[in-house]
Amino acid sequence: MPRYNYICSDCVAAREKEVGRSLTDDEQSEIVFEVSHSIVFPPKKELQKLTKCPLCESHNTHITLLGTDQSIRIRGGDWREFRKKNARALQRDMALHQLQNDDPYGYMRTPDDKAELVDKLRTGGRRQTDKKHFLT
């Protein structure tokens, strides 16, 4: 069964009142408790029994991500595959960002040159849509 982290809102409010300020994530993680139940949530009565706060025995609890290992994965493929497919686009975006923000040759460029380069980078890989192709 998977494990979920729950936090008690009453304990958080009491601790904030005691400290006199809002709690940091580290301070809130001391109040977090762990419960294991099925992925498909159990009936309300069973869930209420499981999520009872061990400190104050309150039922004013909710799921939290504090204290969990969080990782992000690009859905539908690996980063390497994405990078292989879009290498040109990534290079173009990086060059455009560098040109607009911290261009090492910026002091040598005239404003017209810079605008022309930006236009070339933005429209570089696109097909020309003004051409019409007729099939017989």
pLDDT at 77: 61
What pLDDT does 126 receive?
67
26-42 burial string, b = 16+ CB within 10 Å, else e?
eebeebbbebeeeeeee
pLDDT in tens, 48-89: 888 888 888 888 888 887 766 555 555 556 777 777 888 888
Query: Quick one: pLDDT at residue 65?
Result: 75
pTM for the full model? 0.47
Residue-wise pLDDT for 88-111, tens only, equals 888 888 888 888 888 888 888 888
Report whether pLDDT(9) > 60: yes
Specify the amino acid at residue 87: A
Length of the chain in terms of residues written: 136
- Conformational region of residue 57, where left means phi above 0, alpha means psi within -120 to 50, and beta covers everything else: left
Q: How far lies 33's CA from each of 2, 75, 94, in Å?
A: 14, 30, 44
Query: What percentage of the chain exceeds 90 in pLDDT?
Result: 0
Q: Per-residue b/e over 95-108, b at no fewer than 16 CB within 10 Å? A: bbeebeeeeeeeee
Q: Which of 62, 126, 59, 63 is nearest to 92 (CA)?
A: 126
Beta bridge partners of 35: 4
The whole-number pLDDT of residue 128 equals 66
